[in-house]
Amino acid sequence: MTYIQEILETVKRKNPGELEFHQAVQEVLESLEPVIEKHPEYKKAKILERIVEPERAITFRVAWMDDKGEVQVNRGYRVQFNSAIGPYKGGLRFHPSVNFGVLKFLAFEQIFKNSLTTLPIGGGKGGSDFDPKGKSDAEIMRFCQSFMTELSKYIGPDTDVPAGDIGVGAREIGYLFGQYKRLKNEYTGVLTGKGLKWGGSLIRPEATGYGCVYFAQEMLATRYETFEGKICVVSGSGNVAQYTVEKLNELGAKVVTLSDSNGYIYDPEGIGPEKLEFVKELKNVRRGRISEYAEKYGVGYFEGQKPWNVKCDCAFPSATQNELGSEDAQALVNNGCMLVSEGANMPTVPEGVDIFLNAKILYGPGKAANAGGVATSALEMSQNSMRLSWTREEVDEKLKQIMKSIHKSAYEASKEYGHPGNYVLGANIAGFKKVADAMIEQGLI
Ligand SMILES: NC(=O)C1=CN([C@@H]2O[C@H](COP(=O)(O)OP(=O)(O)OC[C@H]3O[C@@H](n4cnc5c(N)ncnc54)[C@H](O)[C@@H]3O)[C@@H](O)[C@H]2O)C=CC1
Ligand SMILES: O=C(O)CCC(=O)C(=O)O
């Protein structure tokens, strides 16, 4: 057994049943094999053995009352994985599928993603198995207040700064922030993704989707290509999907699909700006299903299916982990897809990633392609500390430059290690080195 395999076996033994966590660790460790060979100091300091163990993982009871006056109980979590280069930073996910395995995979990915942004932020993630679907605003507020009452003991603007993820958007961040302020009697940047009137940053809502498209633009440029006239397939219809579509429209592409957990819509005419406004209102205000788009515009709706069989030039998985299987990956390649840029975290199964890499299409893994969201969160933290606000143009320009720099460092690392254009390898290596060096310099902790 190799050194890397031994560590992986230990991770599996110590974290039984946490399949998503095993998957994320395996991908990163396999990429790091040549780095460990080149840098014996990492092996001596047992960096890999340490980096796969969270610094702290908290679970807590969240009791709240529903509109009928009945008591409900959920489980809350925060995984504080690595603080070598900055305070823990990463979103909160409210979804019934949330458990330690899912949050540990997300927090682990966040370590390398946050390092790639070049900004001083460590890796964390949290959430709850609470299902916001079908809940009233009052129920969401009571849940958020109870959740924050416990979480507030472990976070702070210089310790751990949560944000949104699946099921946590502007509304939830508002209720969480209000409760933190009430408990601590202080007005600090303890969360990002805040409302613009009370400490939020312009462009943060757009940042993950826009950033994912900027990263894709950089990949396309290596082949002297642009988005003009490209047919694009997007999955999901939440925050990341919406702003991915918005930026693709601006750049002259045509987006033909969106989805939710019930199915996908196919609009061959393209989801232009006006139709996108309908989606935003449908999903962010009325909180309805994407099938309503098909009814309104008279296009196809495919219940229980994913959009990966639709012929396209570029694909943007923007819903959830492992939403793109190996058959889906093969279908995309067979249909001539030349680029996949991941808005979601780990949306492609490992066999699918291999299919993309072997086919030599442009493949941007989530930890590089979707890093614009957390990078802009770090810009929100900077603005909060300085007590000022940058303009929309300033933040957007910084986001563009950060995505360019992430692309450059991932590309250069892939070249240095003999696989130019393999962004999986490049992102893992470039993200790892800064954290590993910081861990060594800070001693045995
Ligand atoms: N919001 C952010 O800034 C960032 C989000 N991400 C990732 O992007 C992805 C989407 O997140 P958001 O758009 O923020 O969440 P959201 O809650 O706004 O939207 C989630 C979307 O995914 C769909 N979805 C959720 N679970 C699904 C399932 N099991 N099957 C099919 N569809 C499903 C939902 O229907 C919805 O359209 C997640 O993987 C998240 O971790 C990554 C980086 C930053
Ligand atoms: O903005 C943040 O802090 C969190 C973003 C996030 O959860 C992610 O990058 O997956």
Residue 78, pLDDT above cutoff 90: yes
Q: How far, in Å, from the CA of 259 to the mean position of ligand 2? A: 21
Q: How far, in Å, from the CA of 371 to the mean position of ligand 2? A: 8
Q: Which residues line ligand 1 (CB under 6 A)?
A: 164-167, 169, 208, 236-240, 260-261, 318-320, 323, 343-345, 370, 373
Q: pLDDT tens-digit profile of 313-331?
A: 999 999 999 999 999 999 9
Using alpha carbons, list the distances in angstroms from residue 129 to 55, 94, 253, 286, 287. 22, 6, 37, 22, 19
Supply the ipTM of this predicted assembly.
0.98
Which has the closest alpha carbon to 192: 445, 378, 18, 411?
A: 378
Answer left, alpha or beta for residue 69, where phi above 0 means left and psi between -120 and 50 means alpha.
left
Share of the chain above pLDDT 90, in %: 100
Mean pLDDT of 47-70: 98
Q: How far, in Å, from the CA of 41 to the mean position of ligand 2? A: 31
Which segments within 151-297 are labelled E, that is strand?
Answer: 160-164, 231-234, 254-260, 263-266
Do domains 3-187 and 206-360 share one topology? The answer is yes
- Residue 355 Cβ < 6 Å to ligand 2: no
Termini Cα distance of the chain: 28
Which residue bears the tokens 């900027």? 214
Q: pLDDT tens-digit profile of 213-230?
A: 999 999 999 999 999 999
Query: Domain spanning 206-360: which superfamily?
Result: NAD(P)-binding Rossmann-like Domain (3.40.50.720)
Which one of 14, 38, 43, 125 is the catalytic residue? 125
pTM: 0.98
Domain ranges of the chain: 3-187, 206-360
3-187 belongs to CATH 3.40.50.300: no
The secondary element (H helix, E strand) that includes residue 194 is none
> Which residues are within 8 A (CB) of 46 and not within 5 positions of it... i.e. 6 or more apart?
none
**How much helix, strand and coil, in percent to the nearest 5, is found in the chain?**
50, 15, 30
Which residue bears the tokens 């014996």? 40
- Number of other CB atoms surrounding residue 443 within 10 Å: 7
Q: What tokens appear for 84 in the block? A: 């070598």
Q: Which numbered ligand comes closest to the C-alpha of 236? A: 1
- Residue 114 Cβ < 6 Å to ligand 2: no
Residue 445, pLDDT above cutoff 90: no
Q: Supply the DSSP symbol for 348.
A: B
Helix axes 392-416, 423-441, angle to 10 degrees: 100
Strands 339-341 and 314-316: parallel
Specify whether the CB–CB gap between 62 and 74 falls below 8 A.
yes
CA–CA–CA angle 344, 346, 348 (5° rounding)? 100
- Residue 115 Cβ < 6 Å to ligand 2: no
Residues annotated within a binding site for substrate: 89, 110, 113, 164, 377
